[in-house]
Structure 1
Amino acid sequence: MSTLSTQDLTIRFGGHVAVNAVTCAFEPGTLTAIVGPNGAGKTTYFNLISGQLKASSGTVHLGGQDLSNLSPSARTKAGLGRAFQLTNLFPSLSVLENVRLAVQATLDGRHKRGLNLTSIWSDHQNLTQRAVEILESVAMADKQDMPVASLPHGDQRKLEVALLMALDPQVYMFDEPTAGMSHDEAPVILNLIRALKQDKSKIILLVEHKMDVVRELADRIIVLTNGSLVADGDPAEVIASPVVQEAYLGVTKEEAEV
């Protein structure tokens, strides 16, 4: 099982330091919530890990492999999975076809066989079966024949998670996974994350503003403020700490003690 780590990870935009020398390690079997006020650098930190942004300095490692100079797609192949990276959907294809393509991309290179009709048909059946299983797990099997372009926003978010599951990454990265979803839709995504937590070989990172979700799901919380890591530890202790009360909740130390 592999550890994900960042060492002195930093990015500057002109004179502004958006992420400031963040050093942190994430272990398998742990869901870590990354919280902080707006503009704290949470999503920017995610972008540096996944490769959407190039760091000014510092490194990203997964299982001893230096990912710092790899493209986002290469980092995905190395084991980093982030939902929005997978939104290059084929809108004219069906939901099932999109997931089947993701499953096929994952298996390519693992089971190279000669091109013959028997193996091609067998592979097609296996890929379809796996795609259907994934769609069942995200409560979308009944929509497998619908073109992706016709899906409402909530179903598109669920499809993102389905594609992420199809890639079977070492690290799952969720940036506000329920944003824009209705009250009825959000529990489906949260239940999927709960299910993913059962696999203790996986690392899960979650950026989330809803503190009730953080309290329920997180095994650990780290807090960013002004791009710097200011707290790290057990959820109850971190949420109750003065630095979080002030930085995240806007409560001063004096008010927290009242």
Structure 2
Amino acid sequence: MTVGAASIDTTAALSRAVAGPPALETRDLTIRFGGHVAVNAVSCAFHPGELTCIVGPNGAGKTTYFNLISGQLPPSAGQILLGGEDVTRLPVPHKALRGIGRAFQLTSLFPNLSVFENVRLAVQSRRRIGLDLWSVWSANRAVREQAEDCLERVALADKRHLPVASLPHGDQRKLEVGILLALQPRIFMFDEPTAGMSVDEVPVILGLIQEIKRDKSKTVLLVEHKMDVVRSLADRIIVLHNGNLMADGDPAEVIASPIVQQAYLGIAAGDESAQQEGSHG
């Protein structure tokens, strides 16, 4: 594990290094807003088959880091590499076509269209099928079958004909995940995927992320505040603080490290019982 500038344990880094080239990498990625550095020279490599949770307090730079990777924001400095290709300056649509998928911000929902039509449009976008008014594109069996499969996977098949505007917030979040599945990215980026969902809805999304994680050709990045979700999903945790990479490594080691315990779990140094609860509770 790496905490701050000091390398405490390089085992996790070495195991990733021998796993092959990274699917996604940021090198000294930086963005400044006037005199404020929101993300400061963050260098991380993410590998296929690995789920990395990005944690930190509000204002740490997590979502801004996501926005840089997916193309919503142009960096002030640094590089973004996708499969070794420099995609730093590519706009969102071009990054999406190359395989960077961003849930909840990559694709806007069409509130006046049905649930099914929203997913079908995403399938067509991925397949690069245009809307030709002279063809009956709605009868395209392959497109329809893939859209139906995505709706089944996010438990929305029974609401396929409803207009999106009529869906409760939790179902809209599930639909956004369904749209991401339809785009078939190599890199899945989830920004607090269970936020606003009821207790009954959360297992659907967590189970889906677990399913994606089992596909060793996919790379998953997850911003999450709920530590029980982090513990259940993460292969690796990175911690951002004031735009800086503060810790990177095995989940148990990162959560148990004193600097992370103090900064993010509110546990005072030397409070062994609280540290144990923070690590396992």
Settle same-fold status: TM greater than 0.5: yes
1:15 aligns with 2:43: no
Single out whichever of 156-165 and 175-184 deviates more from structure 2: 175-184
The match for 2:193 is: 177
Identify the residue that residue 104 of structure 1 maps to in structure 2: 124
In structure 2, the partner of 1:203 is 219
Aligned to 2:109: 89
The separation in 1 between residues aligned to 2:269 and 2:65, in whole angstroms, is: 27
Which sections of structure 1, spanning at least 5 residues, go unmatched? none
After TM superposition, the runs of 4+ consecutive aligned structure 1 residues lying more than 3 A away are 120-123, 254-258
Alpha-carbon distance, 1:86 to partner:
3.9
- Matched residues in 2 for 1:230 and 1:147: separation? 44
> How many correspondences in the alignment?
252
In the alignment, is the contact (CA less than 8 A) between 1:86 and 1:163 conserved in 2?
A: no
Match of 2:5 in 1: none
Check conservation: 1:18, 1:226, Cα contact below 8 A.
yes
What's the CA shift for 1:230?
Answer: 1.3
Q: CA RMSD, aligned part only?
A: 2.1
> How many Å apart are 1:2 and its aligned residue?
5.6
Cα distance 1:121–1:42, how it changes in 2: closer, same or farther (>3 A)? closer
Per-residue CA deviations over 1:178-216 (Å, capped at 9, x if unaligned) read 111111111111111111111110000000000010001
- The aligned residue for residue 182 of structure 2 is 166
Q: Which amino acid aligns with 1:245?
A: Q
Q: Which moved more, 1:85-94 or 1:125-134?
A: 85-94
How far apart are residue 253 of structure 1 and its match?
2.5
For residue 32 of structure 1, the aligned residue among 52, 66, 69 is 52
The residue type paired with residue 27 of structure 2 is Q
Aligned to 2:78: 58
The offset of 1:257, in angstroms, is 8.2
Q: Is the 8 A contact 1:83 1:174 kept in 2?
A: yes
Taking the aligned partners of 1:37 and 1:89, their CA distance within structure 2 comes to: 28
Q: Is the 8 A contact 1:50 1:72 kept in 2?
A: yes
User: Cα offset for 1:89?
Assistant: 2.1
1:59-97 deviations in Å (ceiling 9; x for gaps): 111001111111112111111100123442222211111
Name the residue aligned to 2:236. Answer: 220
- SS of corresponding position for 1:247: helix
The residue type paired with residue 84 of structure 1 is: F
Q: Post-superposition shift, 1:135?
A: 0.6
- What CA distance in whole angstroms lies between the structure 1 residues aligned with 2:107 and 2:29? 26
Question: For 1:57 and 1:153, how far apart are their aligned partners in 2?
Answer: 36
Q: Map of 1:114-125 to 2, 5 A cutoff?
A: 124-125=140-141
For 1:232-247, what aligned pairs fall within 5 Å after superposition? 232-247=248-263
**Aligned-partner Cα distance in 1 for 2:125–2:105:** 14
Q: Distance in 2 between matches of 1:173 and 1:121?
A: 30
Q: Which amino acid aligns with 2:140?
A: H
SS at match of 2:246: strand
User: Could you say if the C-alpha distance between residues 16 and 141 of structure 1 is closer, same or farther in structure 2, counting changes exceeding 3 Å?
Assistant: same
**Paired residues of 2:170 and 2:197 also in contact (CA < 8 A):** yes
Counting aligned pairs with the same residue, the percent is 66
Asked if 1:135 is matched to 2:155, the reply is no
Residue aligned with 2:217, SS:
coil
CA–CA distance in structure 2, aligned partners of residues 136 and 27 of structure 1? 28
Give 1:14's aligned amino acid: G
Aligned to 1:33, what secondary structure does the other structure show? strand
In 2: Cα distance, 1:6 partner to 1:38 partner: 22
Instruction: Give the structure 2 partner of residue 252 of structure 1.
Output: 268
Deviation at 1:122, TM superposition (A): 9.6
Give the secondary-structure state (helix, strand or coil) at the position aligned to 2:270.
helix
Residues 171-180 or 35-44, more deviating: 35-44
* Separation (CA, whole Å) in 1 of partners of 2:260 and 2:77: 27
Q: String of CA shifts for 1:144-171, please: whole Å, max 9, x gaps.
A: 1111111110110000000000000010
CA contact (8 A) 1:41 1:227 kept: yes
